[in-house]
Structure 1
């Protein structure tokens, strides 16, 4: 039995790898989050150094706030790009005014988390059953497919080599010590070296960048005339990131408990901490907004990385946060990571984004969602088509009734509302049965088939 346990390679949240592994595994997390987080900064106009620093600090705050129980990495969120850009470019706005909306998003997340803690997870599961959270997770992963393919299309040959090597490393090095936990770093390194050898890497930004530069931190303009408009424009987007964060937590909880079972250790059931998780999401957003960065979210691609490598150590996430904060100050190091060609990142993204979607399927399988029940089938179908179909519109926004609704948020809301409709009808049918009124066969449970 002891020999069997020794062969199981992986880290649970409370485990702390040796220092060398801590640094390399942490850097792998940074490499995974870096392209998206930097792109959010560039698209919104916020300082890249501040965004990296805030990303690292937000992750550390969240890890410490959970007592080292919840392993999630926080980076810039694409869901907020459109409203942040709109506020930043408005005559009454600007980046510091947009930061007010970012802070308000954090407050809204924290309030929702507190309410869930008061109401209990059972009630949340009635509103956000696995059919909703699993389907939202699938949409989040697959909606990013076009972005991954666009990046890979810059150089299909090297992108596909990077993809294949990363997959081979993740499959055939698993269980072989530290190397088996670094497939994304190894795949990215191989892709980068091939790109450099074939003349596809531009080192000029590294040469031109200073060694050290203080990020351009700035406080929100709380007293600006447009502050409340920024709150109303940006904060409601949390309706997309709350189901997203819930799905991420449920996914990672599933994989952590599976590893714990293999290690003959007690399950951690961190999915029970959903209220605390949303409060920590809120704190992370407040960190971003107060320092001068766009709203953040916990990253599905880093969840994918953890599922692939079976490394859920929160100590590693703290190390990743420290590395990200250092990158915010050391411009040459940041510039070096920034020279990774887009097609190399695309090769990695095909795998990582796909794993996000597959985790959604795994979540529904684990929670025994009955897709033969027309209620749950309808919920999943509506979320998938609205989320994926809506993402095909320009900017991922659905043009409807003169509005431009963010596809993933709209899909999540549609699924939640449809589930509530079913709950209301089922409650009425149950009341009719109690009064002796025939109402047809009893409904299947809304959340899963136990």
Structure 2
């Protein structure tokens, strides 16, 4: 049995790879989160060095806070870009940080309430039909972003994509190399891009070796602080279902690996309350240092699913590398020279895996899509989320407002599910009182 366990390649959260693997696997996580996290910093106006440092520190805080049980990476969230931009343009970045900190507090409160209420009650509000569909929307809504990046140079982007897929499929089970398909694919794409003159090393030459990130505290007492809270914090409506979906997805894959290793399933999906508290702490770290609101990254979840590496020690290493990058300007500049089209080739794969994980989640939880209730919930989330994302900025124009598509889709699915729960409860009460009612349709996997 011991020999059989050794043949199963992959790291569970409690596993600690050798030092060389720890560093390389950690760097692969950083490479995966780097484009989105840096782009959020650029679009919101926050310092890139601070953002990298904060993402690394937030990841380490979350991993330690979970006592090494939850393997998630925390970076800047696209869901908050529009409100943060609006507040920053009106009152400044320090005031926007107040809203970021408030987002963290709101997440933490929601997590505490869920811990008190229990996961069973949460599943009544966020069943797999909702979380799975939200995960699909998150992945597929990013498809246009991936294609836009790849379109800068289709040849090298597609070469990067194909090589990364081939590495992930045919190197799996072959030691450390089998766990580095994204890093290997990015390296191949980068070499080809550099050889064909598509890499500009000027930023690396001009960057100082070291530079102190521009940390700044939030302006809690400045004019506009309350407006910042009201504008930014409610976007947690989008990131709470997103974070829940990410945790459920990664729990599914971790338990599958544990089963193959003949170990007990870890069922980290039961830690959803703690996960949201840690999400909140991560946002508070971002806001206190001078970065935008964050979330745990589906891209890094995809990376873990592809490589079967769920080691939290690797995530701590990734966090440490990101923090160093915040100070080590030349290394940060070097990673920044990775062409957008190479990242686009990687993103086509990684974003697609996010969506596929949502499907896997619903399959694993046996969501009954022949039940019209479950079908309706998924259908509304998909159309509102994906259709709404097609509007400018991913915001749905309705009644003079602009509602963020993913958040609106999540809320629509949650409300629709609650309507069904209320009707089913009333129907059950009526039956208990002896009132004749038609039999309910077969329940989904979450009822």
Q: TM-score range by the shorter chain?
A: over 0.9
Structure 1: distance between partners of 2:403 and 2:17: 44
User: May I ask how many residue pairs the two structures share in their alignment?
Assistant: 447
Per-residue Cα deviation, 1:255-283 (whole angstroms, up to 9, x for no partner): 00000000001110000000000000000
Say if 2:267 is the partner of 1:237.
no
Residues 426 and 443 in structure 1, CA contact (< 8 A), matched pair in contact too: no
| Distance of 1:339 and 1:283 partners within structure 2 | 31
Residues 1:78 and 2:64 aligned together: no
2:148 paired residue among 144, 147, 150: 150
- Aligned partner of 2:42 in structure 1 is 42
Contact 1:218 1:292 in 2 (8 A): yes
Q: How does 1:79-228 map to 2 (within 5 A)?
A: 79-90=79-90, 93-228=91-226
Write out aligned runs for 1:232-311 (5 A).
232-311=230-309
- What is the SS of the residue equivalent to 1:442? coil
Q: 1:2: how far off?
A: 2.9
- Unaligned ranges ≥5, structure 2: none
| Cα contact 2:385–2:405 (8 A) shared by 1 | yes
In 2, Cα distance between the equivalents of 1:447 and 1:438?
26
**Alpha-carbon distance between aligned partners in 1 of 2:80 and 2:444, rounded to the nearest angstrom:** 31
Deviations 1:198-236 (A, max 9, x none): 000000000000000000000000000210000000000
**Partner deviation per Cα, 1:167-195 (whole Å, 9 max, x = no partner):** 00000000000000000000000000000
Counterparts of 2:180 and 2:129, CA distance in 1: 32
1:9 aligns with 2:5: no
> Structure 1 residue 432: deviation in Å?
1.2
| Distance apart, 1:447 and its partner CA | 4.7
Q: Could you tell me whether the CA contact under 8 Å between 2:366 and 2:444 is conserved in 1?
A: no
The residue aligned with 1:322 is: 320
8 Å Cα contact 1:55-1:288 kept in structure 2? yes
Matching residue of 2:29: 29
- Offset of 1:73 from its aligned partner? 0.1
Pick aligned residue for 1:397 from 391, 395, 399: 395
**For residue 376 of structure 2, what is the aligned residue in structure 1?**
378
Q: Indicate the residue corresponding to 1:358 in structure 2.
A: 356
Equivalents in 2 of 1:314, 1:3: separation in Å? Answer: 24
Q: Aligned partners of 1:448, 1:83: CA distance in 2, in Å?
A: 34
- The structural deviation recorded for 1:441 is 1.1
**Aligned equivalents of 1:331 and 1:2: distance in 2?**
46
CA distance in 2, matches of 1:446, 1:186: 41
- Deviating above 4 A after TM superposition, structure 1's stretches of 4 or more consecutive aligned residues are none
Partners of 1:423 and 1:446 within 8 A in 2: no
Distance in 1, Cα, partners of 2:182 & 2:7: 22
3-state SS in 2 of match to 1:404: strand
**Secondary structure of the equivalent of 2:85?**
helix
Query: Structure 1 residue 436: deviation in Å?
Result: 1.6
Deviation at residue 299 of structure 1 after TM alignment: 0.0
User: Does structure 1 conserve the Cα–Cα contact (< 8 Å) formed by 2:325 and 2:332?
Assistant: yes
Q: Which residue of 2 aligns with 1:56?
A: 56
- What is the CA deviation profile of residues 373-418 of structure 1, one whole-angstrom value per residue up to 9, with x for unaligned ones? 0000000000000000000000000000000000000000000000
